Amino acid sequence: MLLEIRNLTIEAGGNRPILRDVALSVARGEVVGLVGESGSGKSTIARAVLRLLPQNAAARGQVLVEGQDVLSLDDGGLRSLRAATVSMIYQDPRSSLNPVRRIGDFLTERMVHTLGRGRKEARGRALELLAAVGMRDPELRMRQYPHELSGGMLQRVVIAAALAADPALLLADEATSALDVTTQAETLALLRGVQAERELGMLFITHDLHLAAAYCDRIYVLYAGTVVESRPASALFADPRHPYTAGLLACTPELGDPRPIKPIPGRPPSLDDAFAGCPFAPRCAHAVAACASSPPPSVAVEGGSAACHLIKEEAPAC
């Protein structure tokens, strides 16, 4: 397994952990979606893979990348992981770029100072990458500054930078949320094409369950730092088993669907909110007494699992 997270719990103050007993996996050549509302802990999982956590964060469990536990790597091992094995595409491409440095400097700096390539070789590689991500006139773009490029062009630059070291695992953290619909579609097609061509494993983080269902092979649904459902995308979209998953689908508008949007009542819990049972219980229309008093068990369902007191475990297929 390319990425395997086992029982990951991260605490950084507050009455509850940021993440609690999270388990997920990504195989080589697989696109895995991570879905949930803002504040559910999606970005924290991605940052844990690179061990980019706050100084006051205490992490327990394992984050295995190609069998190595990231949480126990020494400084040299961590630098090697970040340089050559795992790359991350952040939500806002402008936040990844220095506004007073040219695009060419941004793309070649990592290759020269981290990967040890000569400047001429790094420049040639940067031009190849810009062409590979569909950037017109790469020579011109190398000489330009970030403010001279559109949002879609900057996203292509950031994707090119993420591919510079030929990583095995790509973390895409809301990589298209700041783009218009047309540019978003182009960027998603580009990412999927590059991922398939290079057989990368990808953790695709989004708040849009419909997008994840169309784009990913498997999906993990996260709520209040806990995985509440994990299944193949097609099965989860067709028959969501956890009430939170069903709520996310019901509150997302679809073109041509006359049914009214049904927002999930209430608000997600903050880190200051403590709970003994299911974190979704206060917002769940189906909650029973057990939901408030004890954590729900993880129950086997078609193709995966869901954590809910109301779900009966399914018999394995013959």
Mean pLDDT over 233-260 rounds to 85
CA 82, CA 74: separation in Å to the nearest integer?
12
Q: How far apart are CA 135 and CA 157, in angstroms?
A: 8
Q: What is the mean pLDDT of the chain?
A: 89
Tell which wins on pLDDT, 4 or 262.
4
Residue-wise pLDDT tens digits, 141-194: 999 999 999 888 898 899 889 888 889 999 999 887 767 778 778 888 888 888
Q: What tokens were used for 82?
A: 């970040």
pLDDT digits (tens, 9 = 90+) for 119-154: 999 999 999 989 988 888 999 999 999 999 988 889
| CB distance 140 to 169 below 8 Å | no
Single-letter amino acid, residue 196: A
Domains and their CATH numbers in the chain: 3-100+145-306 (3.40.50.300), 101-144 (no CATH)
Q: By the 8 A CB rule, do 204 and 216 touch?
A: yes
Residues contacting 255, CB < 8 A, separation 6+? none
